[in-house]
Amino acid sequence: MSATVFLLTPPFTQLNTPYPATAYLKGFLNTRNITAFQADLGIETTVALFNRQGLQELFARIDAQPPQAINDNIARIIALRDDYISTIDDAILFLQGHNPTLAHRICKRDFLPEAGRFAQLEDLDWAFGSMGTQDKAKHLATMYLEDLSDLIRECVDEHFGFSRYAERLARSANSFDELYAALQKDYTFIDQLLINLLQQHMQAVQPKLVAISVPFPGNLYTSLRCGQWIKQHYPSVKVVMGGGFANTELRGLTDPRVFEFYDFITLDDGEAPIENLIHHVEGIKPLEELKRTFTLVDGQVTYFNNKACSDYKQGQVGTPDYSDFQLHKYISAIEVVNPMHRMWSDGRWNKLTMAHGCYWGKCTFCDISLDYIRLYEPIAAALLCDRMEQLIAQTGENGFHFVDEAAPPALMRALALEIIKRKLVVSWWTNIRFEKSFTRDLCLLLKRSGCIAVSGGLEVASDRLLDLIQKGITVAQVAQVNRNFTEAGIMVHAYLMYGFPTQTAQETIDSMEMIRQMFAAGILQSAFWHLFTMTAHSPVGLEPAKFNVRRENDNTPTFANNDIVHIDDTGADHESFSFGLKKSLFNFMHGIGLQDPLQKWFEFKVPKTKVAPDYIAQTLTQDQFAAARPTTKIVWLGRQPAVEHITKSKKGNSWEMTSLTFQDRKEKYSISVGREQGDWLADMLSKLSITNAKTYTLQEVMDSYRDAGLEDFELFWDNKPVNTLHKMGLLKL
C-alpha cells in the first residue's frame, strides 16, 4: 500500500459520497506514473464514532467527567444510552443502504430513541407523504444522529457538527489567533478518533508527500490537526494543503504560523502544482519552479508561480480514480431544511443599509408616506465598502445583510464592482424588487462579489393585483429575473401576499398556480405567504375607499399598533386560504406535490386555475439577451488568457489565428480568432478587467476596435468566440 503521495480529505465534507478532489488528483497522478493512496477521513471518523463501541466509549467518557449541569434533553439521551447503543449499528447500516427493510420499523416511531431533534417533525407526513418510506426513515434516522451530535457537542466537543466540524472557527478566521489557540489544546474525543485513523494510514502508506484537500471551512480545523500530527511524528514527510477553501480564502495569506501545520499551500487547479511539488520534494526541481504555491522562506510567507509551467488541458488530466475509498460505508442522510429560510436565523451577519428609504416608493400596501421609506438617499459604493471593512475589523465577521426596503440595482452593481476591486472576501444578501434591471450579467457580477441570496416581494402573483399594488412588475418579468438569479447561483426567496383588497378566490388560486410553476421550473427556492394587513400610513390605509375597502374602526391606534382591521366586501374569505397556501408551500420548497392539483391542499372547494399549465415555462423561453446600448459598461471577470499564435491551413491555403486559453476556478477553456483580432482582444480584456479602476463602455470598446484598424465589430462581437466569453465572465452591465 506504500505510495509517493497520500491524498486525504479531513472531516467533515459529505456523509453520502466521497468529495471528488482527491479522486481527480489520483487519476491525474496515474497518468504521470506517480503512486498515490487516498482516504476520506470524514466518513471513516463518522463510522468510527457511530457504532456500538464508539458510543460505549462516548458515554464512558461522559461518565468520567466531573459532574456538570445538563439540560433535560441531554439528560434524556444519557438515560436512553442502552437504546442508542443497541440500535446504532442497525441505524448506520440502514443509512448505508445495507438494511433497507428496517425503514418500516423506523417509520413506526418505536424503534429509534427520540430526543429534542424530533420536536421539529410535526410536518413529517406533509414532507414525505405516505409513500416515501425510505426517505422518511432516513430523515428520522438523521434526526436520531443529530440528537447524538447534540450530546457530543454539549458534553465532549463543543465544535462537533456533521459536515461543519469547527466551522465557526474557520468562518471567523480573518485572524488565525482563535484557530491557533484551539490547536494548542489537548485532543478532543473526535480529534483522537481522527488521529488514530491517520496514524494507521501513515504507517501503511509511508508517503513522501501528504496532500490534504480542504474544500470547505468545516474541514479546516481537522486538516490542521492532521498536518500538526504528521509534522510532529513524520518530520521528513512534507504536507501540502489545497482545495476550495485555499482557493477562495487564503489567496492573501501572510500569517507564518499556518506553516507550523503545512509545508505548502496551493491554489486553483491542483494537477500542475502537485506534480511540481512532488518533483521538488524528490529534489528534482527548486522552490522557484513551484506553481501557485505558498511556502515559508526565511520566516516569510512566499508565493511561487512558475508561469513557464502551463496547466494541463482537460484531455491530459486522466480519469478520476475512486479506488481506496471505503464506498460501502457512506451514509445517505436527509435533513429537511430550506437553506434560504435559514438565512434569517443561521449565521452571524453584520447589518448595513445600501440606501435610506425605497427608490421605488409606490407600493400601495407599504408605509410609503413615512420618512424611513419616503426619503430615498443612497450611499456611495466606496463609503459602503469602507464601512464593511471597518465592521470586519471590529467584529471579525465578514457576512453582511443589507436590510434595505429594496436595494437599488445600480447601487448593487457599483457595490459589487467596488468589493471585487478591493478584493474583500465577503458574503452578503439583501432585499430587492424583481425588476428587469437584474439581467443575467448583473446577477453574475453580484454573485462574484459575494452575493449569495436575495429576497423580494412578488406579493400577489396576478398582473391585475400587481398593477393595483403599483408594484411596477409583471409575473412574467419576475420569472425571468428569478431565472437570472438562479442560473447565477444566487438563491431566491419571494414574499407572497394573499388577501389584498378585492382579491378573489380565483385570483388567489391563480397566484398559487404561478408559484407552483416557478418552483417546478427551479427558479424559486423559497417563499412565504403573508396575509395582507392594512397599515395606517400606506395608500390603502390612508385612502381605503379607493381600494373598495373600509376601516372597521377609524379610532384604532395607527403607528405603534399600525395594523388596521378592515372590511373587504368584494374579496374572498381570505383567511380560509391560509392553511392550504402554507401547507402547499412547505411541500413545494421540498420538491413535493409540484404536480398535484391545487385542490389537494384545501379541505373546501376552490376554483380551478385559469393559468395555462406551461405559462412560466413559455415565459422562460423568451430571449433574455437584450441589445446592449453604447453606454453599457463592459467588464471582464476572468483571468488574463494565455495567448498563442497558430497557423491553420486548408486546401493549400494558410492563415494565422490567435488561440486564447483561459483558466477559471472550475475549468479551462479556449477560443480561437483571427491573428489581429486575437491580439486586440487579449489587450482589451486586460483593460476590461474588473481589477482596473477605469470601467469601459461598449462605445469605447468599439472605438478601440476601429482604431486598431479592424472591421465589422458587430460581426466579431456577436460571434461564437466572444459569445463564449460572455458565458464565462465578459459582462454587459
> Which pLDDT score, from 0 to 100, does residue 321 have?
77
| 345 — pLDDT class (breaks 50, 70, 90) | very low
The grid cell for 274 is 502537485
**Of 420-429, 455-464, 705-714, where does mean pLDDT reach its minimum?**
455-464
> Which pLDDT score, from 0 to 100, does residue 22 have?
87
**Of 221-230, 338-347, 713-722, where does mean pLDDT reach its minimum?**
338-347
Residue 345: CA count within 13 A, CB half-sphere: 5
Rounded CA-CA distance 14/27 in Å is 21
428, 400 contact by CB (below 8 A) = yes
Residue type, 171: R
Max alpha carbon distance in the chain (Å)? 92
Assess whether the previous peptide bond of 12 is cis (omega < 30° from 0): yes
339, 491 contact by CB (below 8 A) = yes
> Which pLDDT score, from 0 to 100, does residue 311 have?
82
**Of 92-106, 229-243, 395-409, where does mean pLDDT reach its minimum?**
395-409
Does 342 score more than 50 pLDDT?
no
Residue range 678-696: average pLDDT?
A: 85
| 121 — pLDDT class (breaks 50, 70, 90) | low
Residues 404-457 have pLDDT tens digits of 778 888 889 989 999 998 889 999 989 888 888 898 889 999 999 999 999 887
148, 142 contact by CB (below 8 A) = no
473, 510 contact by CB (below 8 A) = no
Rounded to the nearest integer, the mean pLDDT of the chain is 81
Among candidate residues 494, 469, 501, 478, the one with its CA nearest the CA of residue 360: 469
The grid cell for 54 is 464508539
Residues 505-525 have pLDDT tens digits of 888 888 888 889 989 999 998
Mark out the alpha helices in 573-719 (DSSP H runs). 578-588, 615-619, 675-688, 698-707, 713-717
Among candidate residues 411, 489, 398, the one with its CA nearest the CA of residue 443: 489
Residues 306-327 have pLDDT tens digits of 988 888 875 577 666 778 888 7
Q: What is the DSSP string of 146-187?
A: HHHHHHHHHHT-TT--TT-TTHHHHHTTTSSHHHHHHHTSPP
Neighbours of 278 (CB within 10 A): 22
| 559 — pLDDT class (breaks 50, 70, 90) | very low
| 6 — pLDDT class (breaks 50, 70, 90) | very high
Rounded to 5 degrees, φ, ψ at 12 are -125, 135
Per DSSP, 52 falls in state H
| 287 — pLDDT class (breaks 50, 70, 90) | very high
Does 490 score more than 90 pLDDT?
yes
| 128 — pLDDT class (breaks 50, 70, 90) | low
Per DSSP, 599 falls in state G
> Which pLDDT score, from 0 to 100, does residue 578 have?
81
> Which pLDDT score, from 0 to 100, does residue 7 have?
96
Residue range 184-196: average pLDDT?
A: 92
For β-strands 550-551 and 534-535, DSSP reports them as: unpaired
The grid cell for 386 is 469602507
Which domains, ranges and CATH numbers included, belong to the chain? Answer: 5-42+165-329 (3.40.50.2300), 66-155 (no CATH), 341-619 (3.80.30.20), 633-732 (no CATH)
**Of 45-49, 391-395, 517-521, 603-607, where does mean pLDDT reach its minimum?**
391-395
Radius of gyration in angstroms for the set of CA atoms belonging to the chain, rounded to a whole number: 29
> Which pLDDT score, from 0 to 100, does residue 383 have?
81
Residue range 496-509: average pLDDT?
A: 81
Long-range contacts (CB closer than 8 Å, 24 or more residues apart) made by 192-195: 193/45, 193/48, 193/49, 193/54, 194/10, 194/11, 194/41, 194/45, 194/222, 194/225, 194/226, 195/225, 195/226, 195/229
For the ranges 98-102, 200-204, 681-685, the one whose mean pLDDT is highest: 200-204
Residue 26: CA count within 13 A, CB half-sphere: 23
Does 52 score more than 60 pLDDT?
yes
Residue range 656-662: average pLDDT?
A: 82
Between 465 and 435, name the one with better pLDDT: 435
> Which pLDDT score, from 0 to 100, does residue 199 have?
97
| 380 — pLDDT class (breaks 50, 70, 90) | confident
Between 708 and 88, name the one with better pLDDT: 88
Between 132 and 370, name the one with better pLDDT: 132
Residues 194-249 have pLDDT tens digits of 999 999 999 999 999 999 999 887 888 899 999 999 999 999 999 999 988 887 77
340, 491 contact by CB (below 8 A) = yes
Neighbours of 316 (CB within 10 A): 11
59, 49 contact by CB (below 8 A) = no
Does 126 score more than 50 pLDDT?
no
Between 81 and 707, name the one with better pLDDT: 81
Q: What percent of the chain has pLDDT over 90?
A: 25
> Which pLDDT score, from 0 to 100, does residue 468 have?
64
Between 570 and 323, name the one with better pLDDT: 323
For β-strands 451-459 and 491-498, DSSP reports them as: parallel
Rounded to 5 degrees, φ, ψ at 399 are -105, 135
Residues 587-629 have pLDDT tens digits of 888 788 889 888 989 888 988 988 888 888 888 887 655 677 8
Does 186 score more than 60 pLDDT?
yes
